Amino acid sequence: MEWIYYDSKTGNVERFMQKVAELTGWMIQKIHPDIEVTHEGHLVTFTTRFGEVPETTKAFLQYASPYLRSVSSSGNRNWGSNFALAGDKIANEYGIPLAFKFELSGTNEDVNEFIGIIKARKHYGNKRGSQELDFAQ
């Protein structure tokens, strides 16, 4: 059983995580100031302000980073080189492997790729470009 901790502001990451949970049965938990982390897991967050890590994610990382096996991030390709940059910044600062990057709430293909990466325990930056966002339902 995998545990995924996630941060979502606009609902994009939350929609992505709900689809992951539906397909896998994994435990997903939205981070909040009072969250108690007792299981190792993976972090999925959004990117804010042209490539920055959200403040809520930073606060979570202060105490939870030792429990995290990977980080994935959402972003908008309109930001160019800042696309989903929060994941890169977290990986560099905390030494947590970068697993995956996806746009907005991702596609079904993104969801399946993320699941495959976590199951295989392979963490790497995704270079594939999703053009069609097909599951923001």
Q: How confident is the prediction along the chain (137 residues), in pLDDT tens digits per residue?
A: 899 999 999 999 999 999 999 999 999 999 998 999 999 999 999 999 888 999 999 999 999 999 999 999 999 988 888 899 999 999 999 999 999 999 898 899 999 999 999 988 755 543 333 333 232 22
Instruction: Give pLDDT, residue 89.
Output: 95
Instruction: Give pLDDT, residue 79.
Output: 84
Instruction: Give pLDDT, residue 121.
Output: 74
Degrees to nearest 5, angle at CA 96 with 102 and 10 = 35
Q: Determine how many CB atoms are found less than 10 A away from the CB of residue 63.
A: 11
Measured CA to CA in angstroms, residue 36 lies from 59, 64, 90, 124, 135 at distances of 13, 9, 20, 27, 31
**Architecture in CATH for domain 3-120:** 3-Layer(aba) Sandwich (3.40)
SS3 at position 121: coil
Instruction: Give pLDDT, residue 123.
Output: 54
Q: What is the spatial distance between Cα 99 and Cα 117, in angstroms, rounded to a whole number?
A: 7
Six-digit token pair at 68?
């995290």
